[in-house]
Structure 1
């Protein structure tokens, strides 16, 4: 059964908030965007998931819908698509992944890999991210000067959508990661969930309350002098 109580003191990605904010604050200037910046810094890939949610299903759907509506797309083309899977639909998705891997991997390698898939299945829900290729093709035909750019622009927008949802879910006490089995499962996923053929599967995001005791691993950062250049 889902746990609708918002996490406060229980397992959550927020357990590393103070540590993360302290280690990633560039300099103590501060401003109205700090809460947003801290949320970005707190986001982590969580693989130890439980079949619990800190929020109602309706809230998850609201977050995904809001992010789809407001994530920018080139020419406001609105090429992003998302599918939210709860319950048996979530479980079935990772069963499809396991079945697809079993077809291509030798037994000994499959046994080592399927455990990871089961850890995703142990979560509460999965979000599938797609790009509507029909929209992209229409843009290519309408704006031929930019035709070669619309595919990468759509992919960039999808990345922004995935990040927006991920950060929002983290703020609600949920853990998540991004997985990429699309080339193995896309045909079966479209068949099982009645997905339009024009939708191209980009990634899969298993979500759930982090397991008790989970802690975010330390991250190493390259020197900002190497990664950001500033000209005044």
Structure 2
């Protein structure tokens, strides 16, 4: 069955980064919460540790996150680098909201302490699980008519520290990514999300043995 004949595969095929976003949403905030809740509840985690955590930032809270990121980047990188990043950050702030994805290191450490045989697998499994959560929310929001792009401004520890302090988050929560979302900006070409893509030959990327 082709991707177009399978709703799940079709959603995967159509998902793409969208950077021209507005401070509007085609769905209510309650629906946004429902989507994130469903993904957190049902996406796999290593040994069912359920270590994924999410913070949905809307309105002033979304703006505050990207203001914080801008300030921390400005004080941490050379001016030329800041000038380039600040324009990108302004674009993220112009969106409707952000979902912050965390992994609770306390939950992982607790599982590892109870079962030493799986301890060495937890860090890698945690990263895999976080990626699945990010992808699931991203794809679900696109199906609702939102545009999204995924960022990793946790590269600066000062941003992570500021976020935990501002929103009183547990110290054991490790920030992995930020999914920025909003209605695509039609005037800026945001609705044209299917950019031209190039693909490596699948024969070089997939091997089927025994068929």
Per the TM superposition, whether the score is higher than 0.5 is yes
Deviations 1:145-186 (A, max 9, x none): 221110110110010000000000000000111111113210
- Separation in 1 of the partners of 2:85 and 2:3? 45
* Candidates 95, 114, 128, aligned match of 2:67: 95
Q: Write the mapping of 1:97-136 to structure 2, written as runs, cut at 5 A.
A: 97-136=69-108
Q: Deviations over 1:108-155 (max 9, x none)?
A: 332222010000000001100000001110121122122111011011
Q: Which residue of 1 aligns with 2:183?
A: 209
Could you tell me which runs of 5 or more consecutive residues in structure 2 were left unpaired when the two chains were aligned. Answer: none
Structure 2 counterpart of 1:148, from 120, 131, 146: 120
Provide the C-alpha distance between the structure 2 equivalents of 1:32 and 1:119, rounded to a whole number of angstroms: 32
Q: How many residues align?
A: 204
**Matching residue of 2:204:** 226
- Write the deviation string for residues 14-61 of structure 1: whole angstroms up to 9, x where unpaired: xxxxxxxxxxxxxxx359971110000100111111111010000000
**Residues 52 and 32 of structure 1: CA distance in aligned 2, closer, same or farther (over 3 Å):** closer
Please give the secondary structure, in 1, of the residue aligned with 2:151.
coil
Structure 1 gap segments, 5+ residues each: 1-28
Bigger drift between 118-127 and 208-217 goes to 208-217
Output the CA distance in 1 between the equivalents of 2:205 and 2:97: 35
TM-score normalised by length of structure 2: 0.93
Dislocated runs of 4+, deviation >3 Å: 29-33
Q: CA RMSD in A?
A: 1.4
1:45 to 3, 6, 17: 17
Q: Of 51, 65, 84, which aligns to 2:37?
A: 65
Say which is worse superposed, 98-107 or 189-198, in terms of deviation: 98-107
- What is the TM-score when the length of structure 1 is the normalising length? 0.85
